[in-house]
Amino acid sequence: MNLSESIKTLSGVGPKRATALGEMGIKTVSDLLHHYPRSHVFARYSTIPDFREGDKVVFQATVMKVTRIKHFFIVKLMDGEYETTCMFFNVPSIRAMLRVNGSYWFWGKAIIPPYRGGFQLTNPQFSQREPTGIFDSGAPVYPATKAVPSDMIAKLIKQVLNACSQVDLKQVDVAPTDFMHPVNAIRAIHFPEDKQQLQRARKTLKYIEIRDVLQRMDSQKQQAKLSKVFCAVGRDRGGNFYSDKAYQPFDIEFTGDQVRATLDIEAGLDSHLRMNRLLQGDVGCGKTAVAQWASLYVANCGMQTVVMCPTLALARQHYESWSRLFMGTEFCVGLLTSENSEYCCGCGVIIATTSALSDKVEFDKLGLLIVDEEHKFGKDQKDKLYHKYGTNRLLMTATPIPAALTATLFADLDVTTIREMPAGRGKRTTRVLLPGDHGSVPLSGQIYEVFSRIEGPGGIEEAVHVPFNGEFRAVCHGNRKPAHNAAAIGAFHRGEVKRMYCTSMLEVGIDNPNANTIIVHDANMFGLSQLHQMRGRVGRGTDDSYCYLLLDTADEVAHDRVRFLETCDDGFEVAEKDLELRGPGELAGNRQTGLAEFKLTDLVSDYRLIKRVRKDLRLC
């Protein structure tokens, strides 16, 4: 049997079942073998009075009652004079499947829930026949559908494993000698002899899975580098003279990390291979200054830089900042938005929104594409100019990314990290306020107020209609026209208003060194990394600053989670904690390529294994 054969060649798979399996992504024998169990049942026979907490038990009982409560069912079971209950979630047909007074075999995990006495099983397996083959070894429980139940998948996999010879299964990849042989690992992950063998099999297949993803992404990285650079910057165009010249307009002293970042970028631009680099760092660490240095270096070499921004407000802010920096140079700065489609072709730097992606827009000598807040763009948007002009690319993110994610999701990029913060910053204090303490917030200076919603109770629109000492308040949120938001941000930046009401759009690059206080309502509705990004909008000057996180819940778990920010002001530590609590989805943004390919690997708990694979591949 060949692993690339269609599942239609298997006994018991007709056209309808083949279609149902195809909808699950199972089209070949290989797909079937790599459809891994989500759990295993290592069970023992038991009676209801012999249940022990956490045991996987197999028992026979009579259904006494089936009760529906909202979206779940409670099934009361009797074993002689002893009683237990099963809870079934997302099984609307359970009444038809379990008839009252019927006798069934049940198997699953017995627990004692905190809200009621006695043992309970949640979504147990059941059958009218006594189950077999789940005692001496682990019985697999597969992700399944009504058309293709778990036991059917198990039968098909057994059929494949029995029909496959060792030669057939050698098409499976190999692993290092200190792991299981992959052929044995494939067999063991489906039908393990014991829990130890299952653990070894999972570790082996995780290794292979991680290695395949990293090798593929590294190959993409090398291919991108080797593709033709249409507008090479090159050392012969600038060299150290232009590198030193690029520092001259700055009235600040670069930190050590910033200098190292410029050296990385200079090396990439001077190479005749394309640069494709991620520049990451904590909010306020000076990434924008590094990007400005890079654009000035490119301009000195006779090339153009396009800086692509996700919002009009950020584009205008960058346009003003770049214009001030370039004022004493021979280069001009252009602004390209939907409202301002005319730009100077001779500009050294063009600040743009996604209008730069229009087919009507052409650039003469595009030497560098800078994508700010890269996680706010789709892959196609980030790739269009990069591939069209064969240019160098610098992606920037203000969301610090834990090493576990960087090692996988960004394996196709070179990564430069800035951890060192500029000197002279004031102290930033974070306080978490519980319900009832919200009135204790001291108010002075310019203040951001962030809301989790626009309309409804506790939203911006409600707050705007509450009188506040006769002060005018700027309002900025996604339902307003971009021009109105830009005007509000401008008025706040110029000090014409003391208070700004906004949503989480604040986290995307709004910079006002004079703002010294931020108040976040319903802080429990945001992730830790989001909250850290928001508080990064204050404390950008020399004065002390304050962040007040207002909670609107009695949930102690939410309190403890947000209180972490009172003692931690390091964005990388916050990101690690957020990864631990919420998983990689939010931090990963739209870079789902590596994530989607992992069936077994968890980026948090398997980080040591990821490091081992990278070392074996010599990627670190």
Supply the CATH number for residue 63's domain.
2.40.50.140
Residue 347, pLDDT > 80, answer yes
Residue 406, pLDDT > 50, answer yes
327 with 413, same domain? yes
Task: Please state the pTM of the whole predicted model.
Answer: 0.68
CA dihedral over 219, 354, 250, 493, signed as positive or negative? negative
**Pairwise CA distance, residues 412 & 274, whole Å:** 13
**Pairwise CA distance, residues 389 & 537, whole Å:** 35
Mean pLDDT in residue range 342-366: 84
Sheet holding 414-418, edge to edge: 333-336, 349-352, 304-308, 366-371, 392-397, 276-281, 414-418
pLDDT digits (tens, 9 = 90+) for 150-172: 889 999 999 999 887 654 545 55
Comparing CA positions, the residue from 55, 114, 128, 124 lying closest to residue 85 is 124
> Which residues, in sequence order, are CB contacts of 14 under 8 Å at separation 6+?
none
Residue 582, pLDDT > 80, answer no
pLDDT digits (tens, 9 = 90+) for 90-127: 888 899 999 999 999 998 888 888 766 788 999 998 99
454 with 527, same domain? yes
Quick check: is 221 in a domain?
no
Q: Which residues span the domain enclosing 439?
A: 428-587
Quick check: is 35 in a domain?
no
103 with 240, same domain? no
pLDDT range class, residue 486, cuts 50, 70, 90: confident
**Pairwise CA distance, residues 421 & 571, whole Å:** 11
In this structure, what CATH number is given to the domain that contains residue 460?
Answer: 3.40.50.300
Pairing label, strands 56-69, 72-79: antiparallel
pLDDT range class, residue 375, cuts 50, 70, 90: confident
Residue 5, pLDDT > 80, answer yes
393 with 297, same domain? yes
Torsions phi, psi for 28 (to 5 deg):
-125, 170
- pLDDT for position 592: 43
Quick check: is 440 in a domain?
yes
Quick check: is 6 in a domain?
no
192 with 74, same domain? no
Domain finish residue from 418, 439, 471: 418
613 with 576, same domain? no
As separate numbers, helices (DSSP H) first and strands (DSSP E) second, the chain gives 21, 22
- pLDDT for position 593: 44
**Pairwise CA distance, residues 508 & 595, whole Å:** 24
Quick check: is 329 in a domain?
yes
266 with 295, same domain? yes
Quick check: is 349 in a domain?
yes
Residue 211, pLDDT > 70, answer yes
pLDDT digits (tens, 9 = 90+) for 306-339: 999 988 888 888 999 999 998 888 889 999 988 7
Q: Which of 48-52, 255-259, 537-541 has the lowest mean pLDDT?
A: 537-541
Comparing CA positions, the residue from 55, 122, 43 lying closest to residue 84 is 122
436 with 410, same domain? no
Comparing CA positions, the residue from 111, 136, 109, 144 lying closest to residue 35 is 144
Mean pLDDT in residue range 230-250: 62
619 with 576, same domain? no
Domain finish residue from 89, 115, 136: 136
Q: How many domains does the chain have?
A: 4
- Whether 51 and 57 have beta carbons less than 8 Å apart is answered as yes
Domain finish residue from 136, 166, 187: 136
Q: Mapped to the 3 state alphabet, what secondary structure does 300-351 carry?
A: HCCCEEEEECCCHHHHHHHHHHHHHHHCCCCCCEEEECCCCCCCCCCCCEEE
Residue 594, pLDDT > 50, answer no
How many other C-beta atoms are found inside a 10 Å radius of the C-beta of residue 106?
A: 22
Comparing CA positions, the residue from 578, 507, 494, 582 lying closest to residue 547 is 507
**225 or 75, which is more confident:** 75
Quick check: is 498 in a domain?
yes
- Whether 292 and 366 have beta carbons less than 8 Å apart is answered as no
What percent of the chain lies above the pLDDT cut of 70?
86
274 with 210, same domain? no
Locate 486 and state its tokens: 């830009």
Quick check: is 157 in a domain?
no
pLDDT digits (tens, 9 = 90+) for 546-570: 999 998 888 888 888 999 999 988 8
357 with 246, same domain? yes
382 with 433, same domain? no
pLDDT range class, residue 225, cuts 50, 70, 90: low
What percent of the chain lies above the pLDDT cut of 90?
30
- pLDDT for position 238: 46
Mean pLDDT across the chain: 83
